């Protein structure tokens, strides 16, 4: 099946989703985080997280709570499956032939516990940058986070529709070094 995108507005709650997602990106009042879905209880609490996205290898679900308390959602699915309420706006897409996947560098450098034992006592995937003066915990493997010269990256996939233009969705997170970019 071809990839599809669909939109639903004025939903009372999140829909029943036709796919499993590995990651969650949550946006709340003065807070945001990216994590593994399994590590976050309450991702669907619209009071705490009025906007966000679930994503993984097969698709992405994005939402935003409207001022009237209803939910506006968008689903992009690689396998063509959408919940019923999204089918009326269904568009078939093409994966971008120019190179569908690319990565975006996320903020921060790994907090080395040998240099900052209080900042990262367990040596986990914690990252810090002065531009965002707080620790960022990204869902990457701790062993990968520790490798010199690697930075956390959000992998995105690009799609095209002949008349509606380009669509981009999140796929997964990786650690990647500058030397890998030249390859």
- How many domains in the chain? 2
Mean of the pLDDT values across residues 133-140? 86
Return the SS3 of 117: coil
Residues 104 and 183 in one domain: yes
| Same-domain check for residues 129 and 181 | yes
Check whether residue 86 and residue 112 sit in a common domain. Answer: no
Among 27-36, 65-74, 98-107, top mean pLDDT goes to: 65-74
**Shared-domain flag, residues 116 and 50:** no
The predicted structure's pLDDT at residue 173 = 94
pTM of the model: 0.87
* Together in a domain, 109 and 159: yes
pLDDT band at 181 (very low <50, low <70, confident <90, very high): low
**46 vs 3: CA distance, rounded Å:** 28
| Residue at which a domain ends, from 48, 73, 92 | 92
28 shares its domain with 67: yes
Whether residue 79 has pLDDT greater than 80: yes
pLDDT by residue (tens digit) across 155-177?
Answer: 999 999 999 999 999 999 999 98
Distance CA 32, CA 35 (A): 10
CA distance linking residue 81 with residue 155, whole number of Å: 22
pLDDT in tens, 4-20: 999 999 999 999 998 88
pLDDT at residue 98, as a whole number:
80
């Amino acid at each position: 099946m071809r990839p599809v995108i669909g939109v639903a507005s004025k939903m009372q709650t999140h829909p029943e989703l036709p796919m499993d997602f590995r990651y969650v990106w949550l946006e709340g009042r003065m807070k945001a985080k990216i994590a593994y879905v399994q590590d976050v209880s309450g991702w669907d609490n619209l009071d705490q997280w009025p906007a966000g996205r679930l994503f993984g290898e097969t698709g992405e679900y994005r939402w935003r709570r409207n001022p009237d308390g209803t939910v506006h959602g968008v689903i992009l699915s690689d396998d063509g499956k959408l919940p019923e309420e999204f089918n009326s706006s269904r568009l078939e897409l093409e994966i971008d032939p120019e190179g569908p996947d690319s990565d975006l560098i996320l903020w921060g450098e790994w907090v080395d516990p040998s240099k900052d034992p209080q900042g990262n006592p367990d040596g986990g995937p914690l990252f810090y940058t002065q531009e965002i003066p707080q620790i960022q915990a990204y869902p990457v493997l701790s062993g990968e986070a520790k490798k010199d010269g690697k930075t956390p990256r959000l992998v995105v996939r690009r799609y095209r529709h002949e008349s509606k233009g380009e669509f981009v969705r999140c796929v997964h997170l990786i650690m990647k070094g500058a030397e890998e970019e030249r390859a």
